[in-house]
Amino acid sequence: GQQVMQIPQYQHVQEGEDFTTYCNSSTTLSNIQWYKQRPGGHPVFLIQLVKSGEVKKQKRLTFQFGEAKKNSSLHITATQTTDVGTYFCGSGTYKYIFGTGTRLKVLA
């Protein structure tokens, strides 16, 4: 079945440094959605990408969908302590498959 792999599993950065997490699939994805889960919280929807090569920005966050629609990335510029949490990518139409997530820690 469809699987979505995410790397890295963990990332510790100094506040102000950049951060990137990658999402990869062996099959073509119809879409990619990104969610953020704060410690002790629930996943919160960030954005959806559906077009090949699509790039979307939300303030310091940049989301990309690969040309082959098999990978995606989330890049955070100049991390802040409020960025702490686990970032998940997911894909699907009705049944969503999620990656294992990248846990981001930001050191002040």
Partner 1 sequence: DAGVTQSPTHLIKTRGQQVTLRCSPKSGHDTVSWYQQALGQGPQFIFQYYEEEERQRGNFPDRFSGHQFPNYSSELNVNALLLGDSALYLCASSTGTKNSPLHFGNGTRLTVT
Residue ranges in contact with partner 1 by CB under 8 A = 1, 6, 30-31, 33, 35, 41-45, 48, 50, 88, 90, 92-101
How far apart CA 40 and CA 103 sit, in angstroms, is 13
Which C-beta is closer to partner 1: that of 35 or that of 63? 35
Shortest distance (Å) from residue 5 CB to partner 1 = 10
Which C-beta is closer to partner 1: that of 18 or that of 38? 38
**Beta strands in 26-81, from DSSP E residues, in sequence order:** 32-37, 43-49, 55-58, 61-65, 71-76
CB 4 within 8 A of CB 102: no
Which C-beta is closer to partner 1: that of 13 or that of 46? 46
